[in-house]
A and B are shown apart, each in its own frame.
Chain A
């Protein structure tokens, strides 16, 4: 057996279920639409902003505002790709066909990540250009300093979110449990920790907050973040690697369910 065979097999798996299409298209639509909406609102409110706020105005980042919601669909995608194997019992057939569990897991992750990367980059660019179009005269240009990095970074960010979810799902196996932990984690806990002063310093080391740094072009005024855009993405990548190692170790050690 070669890894290429397994990758082909995983590609068949991922393209033959409807959840792939609807989770990814939801991620695309929500990210772009919400980004456009918020960009349009910002444009109309720009004139009433304080000069401080105007200084910190980051048109690039604003066009990615939809990602806070769009990433949830990416999480669902990542979770379902892995945990579907368990919830349907397919895992037995899969592991009987591919007893090298490392090959199995990483082929699955490779296929899903590649797909997520393509979709995320396209989403990121679309969200940027459409968002800038809504911003009118306040728009940023792709040629501006740091903007291309932010746009590509947006795609990487969404991809890493999906990959992180896959790692967590590989550890937890149950789709309900995985979603039940990841959704509140990204939607509530990360926000709460990040907005309460006492926990802010911890909060910014969470994967989403660290990773989203890469989408900023204009830093906030009193920015004391101890890492830069790529450093932030690196922190996020460390989280992802940890989740993947956890998933891999547990898959190798456990009996197939």
Chain B
């Protein structure tokens, strides 16, 4: 369990993290979302005691980070950057971390095996690709067999098999009752991995809810219904006071009513349904709606038109 209380970080005038209070619970994967510059990395660094909070408090299982005895056995973290001496081998990198926390050397071999780096364990990290560096970082996080794991952008540089693997790994760690806290920019990936979400924007907490609730609250959900007896279906729905919108290709969209309710209704009226599917927006849509105002580096939206707009002038000039 990671608990943040009123956590605040200021760099001079700029407030990077503003009065964050939330808890990351064990047994589930908690996603940590926010636009660039929202303060995610700063928050993670403060959790690890790397940055000092201007105000507020972080506790790891009730203890301050710097009071942890052998911290790697309590919390393991993969931070964004590579952070490996290029001239040191993967094995020695992990070994020196293990020794500082009294972890036996054979555990180093175990984690190298787990992340699939055994074959290159003695090679210098210099030649590692982004994906291999990522695996090494994951190995370091697992080293102390910690109850709490934190991953910052874990799928960076991994190929589809690697992405699948890390996703499955995080879920199984959570299923073992561990606390898993993961940040990512990939909404579609997050939707597959996380059970719970913590969303921040401009350093402030925007949401701390379950995935399903988050999507439900921040987007439209409806039920799509299809039936060979469309007219009768419309009548039945109408009779029950439910409004349905026709969608053109013979399907109806029903807002504000649950699928099971419509199913029961159809059964009662002996109506044949060919489809009865609850539809939800994607996590991405929900996220965009929530964070719309707190984004740095806005790209122009008028890209498509730009070609003509600027192109003609100078092309003519050159002709």
A–B contact with Cβ pairs below 8 Å: the answer is yes
Chain A residues within CB distance 8 Å of chain B: 1-2, 5-6, 8-10, 12-13, 16-19, 84, 88-100, 255-256
Which among A88, A95, A256 is the interface contact of B86 at CB below 8 angstroms?
A88
Chain B residues within CB distance 8 Å of chain A: 45, 48-52, 65-66, 68-72, 77, 79, 81-89, 92-93, 95-102, 140
A97-B97 CB under 8 A given contacts A88-B83, A256-B51 = yes
Which among B77, B86, B95 is the interface contact of A96 at CB below 8 angstroms?
B77
Which among A2, A12, A84, A98 is the interface contact of B92 at CB below 8 angstroms?
A12
> Across the interface, do B81 and A89 meet the contact criterion of CB distance under 8 Å?
yes
**Residues on the A chain within 8 Å of B52, using CB:** 255
> Across the interface, do A12 and B71 meet the contact criterion of CB distance under 8 Å?
no
Which among B66, B69, B87, B92 is the interface contact of A19 at CB below 8 angstroms?
B87
Which partner residue on chain A sits nearest B105 by CB separation? A12
**Residues on the B chain within 8 Å of A88, using CB:** 82-86
> Across the interface, do A92 and B100 meet the contact criterion of CB distance under 8 Å?
no
Which partner residue on chain B sits nearest A91 by CB separation? B83
Given A13-B96, A93-B83, 15 further pairs, Cβ under 8 A: A1-B100, A1-B102, A10-B96, A12-B95, A12-B96, A16-B92, A17-B87, A90-B83, A90-B84, A90-B85, A92-B45, A96-B48, A96-B49, A96-B71, A98-B100
Prevailing SS type, chain A contact patch: helix
**Residues on the B chain within 8 Å of A6, using CB:** 100
Which among A16, A19, A97 is the interface contact of B100 at CB below 8 angstroms?
A97
**Residues on the B chain within 8 Å of A18, using CB:** 87
- The 4 A-B residue pairs with the shortest CB-CB distance in the complex, in nearest-first order: A16-B92, A89-B83, A9-B100, A99-B66
**Residues on the A chain within 8 Å of B101, using CB:** 1, 5, 97
> Across the interface, do A1 and B87 meet the contact criterion of CB distance under 8 Å?
no
29 A–B contacts, CB within 8 A, in A order: A1-B100, A1-B102, A2-B102, A8-B100, A9-B96, A12-B95, A13-B85, A13-B96, A16-B89, A16-B96, A17-B87, A88-B83, A88-B84, A88-B85, A89-B81, A89-B83, A89-B84, A90-B93, A92-B79, A93-B140, A94-B100, A95-B48, A96-B48, A97-B101, A99-B65, A99-B71, A255-B45, A255-B51, A256-B51
User: In angstroms, how far is the closest chain A Cβ from the Cβ of B11?
Assistant: 9
> Across the interface, do B89 and A1 meet the contact criterion of CB distance under 8 Å?
no
User: In angstroms, how far is the closest chain A Cβ from the Cβ of B71?
Assistant: 6
**Residues on the B chain within 8 Å of A12, using CB:** 92, 95-96, 99
User: In angstroms, how far is the closest chain A Cβ from the Cβ of B179?
Assistant: 16
> Across the interface, do A89 and B97 meet the contact criterion of CB distance under 8 Å?
no
Which among A8, A91, A97 is the interface contact of B71 at CB below 8 angstroms?
A97
A88 to B99, CA, bound (A): 20
Which partner residue on chain A sits nearest B79 by CB separation? A92
User: In angstroms, how far is the closest chain A Cβ from the Cβ of B218?
Assistant: 33
**Residues on the A chain within 8 Å of B77, using CB:** 96
> Across the interface, do A256 and B50 meet the contact criterion of CB distance under 8 Å?
yes
Which among A17, A90, A95 is the interface contact of B50 at CB below 8 angstroms?
A95
A2 to B102, CA, bound (A): 9
**Residues on the A chain within 8 Å of B79, using CB:** 92-93, 96
User: In angstroms, how far is the closest chain A Cβ from the Cβ of B81?
Assistant: 5
User: In angstroms, how far is the closest chain B Cβ from the Cβ of A87?
Assistant: 9
A17-B85 CB under 8 A given contacts A96-B48, A97-B72, A100-B66 = yes
**Residues on the A chain within 8 Å of B93, using CB:** 16, 90
Q: Which of A17, A84, A88, A98 has the most CB of B within 10 A?
A: A88
Which partner residue on chain A sits nearest B11 by CB separation? A255
User: In angstroms, how far is the closest chain A Cβ from the Cβ of B3?
Assistant: 17
**Residues on the B chain within 8 Å of A89, using CB:** 81-84
A99 to B52, CA, bound (A): 12
User: In angstroms, how far is the closest chain A Cβ from the Cβ of B217?
Assistant: 35
A25 to B274, CA, bound (A): 80
A99 to B46, CA, bound (A): 12
**Residues on the A chain within 8 Å of B98, using CB:** 9
Which partner residue on chain A sits nearest B47 by CB separation? A96
A217 to B49, CA, bound (A): 51
Which partner residue on chain A sits nearest B86 by CB separation? A88
> Across the interface, do A1 and B70 meet the contact criterion of CB distance under 8 Å?
yes
> Across the interface, do B96 and A1 meet the contact criterion of CB distance under 8 Å?
no
Which partner residue on chain A sits nearest B70 by CB separation? A1
> Across the interface, do A5 and B84 meet the contact criterion of CB distance under 8 Å?
no
A96-B50 CB under 8 A given contacts A1-B101, A1-B102 = yes
**Residues on the A chain within 8 Å of B51, using CB:** 255-256
**Residues on the B chain within 8 Å of A99, using CB:** 49, 65-66, 68, 71
**Residues on the A chain within 8 Å of B83, using CB:** 88-93
User: In angstroms, how far is the closest chain A Cβ from the Cβ of B177?
Assistant: 22
**Residues on the A chain within 8 Å of B86, using CB:** 88
Which among A1, A84, A93 is the interface contact of B69 at CB below 8 angstroms?
A1
User: In angstroms, how far is the closest chain A Cβ from the Cβ of B38?
Assistant: 18
A203 to B268, CA, bound (A): 101
**Residues on the B chain within 8 Å of A16, using CB:** 88-89, 92-93, 95-96
**Residues on the B chain within 8 Å of A256, using CB:** 45, 50-51
Which partner residue on chain A sits nearest B102 by CB separation? A5
Q: Which of A10, A84, A98 has the most CB of B within 10 A?
A: A98
User: In angstroms, how far is the closest chain A Cβ from the Cβ of B221?
Assistant: 41
A8 to B65, CA, bound (A): 22
A21 to B224, CA, bound (A): 70
